[in-house]
Structure 1
Amino acid sequence: MLIDIYILALFLVIGSFLNVVAIRLLNKESIAFPPSHCPQCKHKLSVLDLVPVFSYLFLKGKCRYCQTKISPLYPFGELLTATSIFIVYKFVGLQLELIPALLLTILLVISVLTDIRKQLILDVVTLPMLGLLIISRLLIGSEPFWYYLLGGVVGFALLLLIAIVSRGGMGGGDVKLYAAIGVALGPWMTVMSLVLASFVGTIVGITLLVLGIVKRKQPIAFGPFIFIGTLLAYLFGYDIWIWYLNLLW
């Protein structure tokens, strides 16, 4: 129990760092310099200002120096990172497969954080992570290396086809992201990931439309649904597939 608490705390810190990565890359800034500061008053933040989640709650969502409201996306990113990495860690365990699993999870988290902010999935994140996933799958995996490369091709081709048919409804960032997802999952689970992401996205989109939160043809970030669909496919894909076959027959 204490080990799990320690690991969760560590993952919260990682989440805080991924927030910084997402924001600074979107703004085309260095992720190392300058040190963490309030974007409004530029005051350098102290350690007390940077405790993941708890600083946000303690400061009541405001900068301690200028009282500017802090975006709730900060604690959201920290909690998203901590919970998703922790679930993947507990599911996979301490084995080599944890390496590609964590690479995939970190890529998905950063993609969510950039997509919900500016509806962008950044090549500067996706392409290096794609390279790392290819290297990891060359050495780690229950299937032959070609299987994971085929997954990358399938993921890229499917999203490219959707992007062409939708005439810009799907961005180039999503296409490259799915190439990386394909390398991590292989072809079958990549297809399931897209089906699950589309299903969840449709349900959420219809709900938001009915509630009047969004309007018809208003673009919605697809990154969060890719995140959900991909993790579900990675963690429970075969169980979902067996359940579906049983449902049919």
Structure 2
Amino acid sequence: MDVDAYLDRIGAPRPSAATASALRDLHEAHLSAVPFENLSIHLGEQISLDEDALFDKIVKRRRGGFCYELNGAFAVLLEAFGYTVTRVGARVFGGGRWGPPFDHLALLVSTADGTGTWLADVGFGAHSRHPLRWDDRAEQVDPDGRFALVDTDDGDVEVVKDGEPQYRIELRPRTLADFEPTCWWQQTSPGSNFTRNTICSRLDRGDRVTISGRTLIRTRDGARTEEPLSSDEAALAAYREHFGIHLDEVPKAP
């Protein structure tokens, strides 16, 4: 991996050591620069979990992606700096039920000095701005919510935000290849949320900017505003202005 190019992409300096503080800075920088987006699905682009393909899409083509892509690439970057990264699968909670296994990819990151393990996740959209301390079961206050990690009776760990379950982590270490079947399902199944609508979202100086379908959404200090993107030209301009994504056509959901 061209580490310097990746750091330039997220606007972050090279960390001097694999510390918790550096992880925190890299995590927030990634969320601010690289959007959570599913546009490839609606542009007819094949999503590959090959590490070179992830680097090409996120760094060279300055695009974003969903969890497998974003956390998959971020894991390799962290390992280049000396962090120990364990890739883990999770089931996402939505619609009153748990999703399938490998529904989500999250990262458990240990620092080089042994000062702790952290749950890092730059691929879940609106989630924690900073990594969560993995061994802490007390409430953890983040700029973007109040989080808790809860041990379940079957040995998993449930991530809770503002009192609502987000996803449930299975602790068995995985490889990126383990997520390929579910990644394909997310791209193709009518039952996948990603095939039903387009989404592109990132942190914006501590706030959030999102394009959902044909609506530009800004969230600032808890206040939400919506602006319809009534034409293809307006939508393409919004992708360029807010995400640096230059498209030839507007991605359209069914």
Q: What range describes the TM-score normalised by the shorter chain of this pair?
A: under 0.3
**TM-score (ref. length: structure 2):** 0.24
* The structure with more helix, counted as a fraction of residues: 1
* The structure with more strand, counted as a fraction of residues: 2
**TM-score (ref. length: structure 1):** 0.24
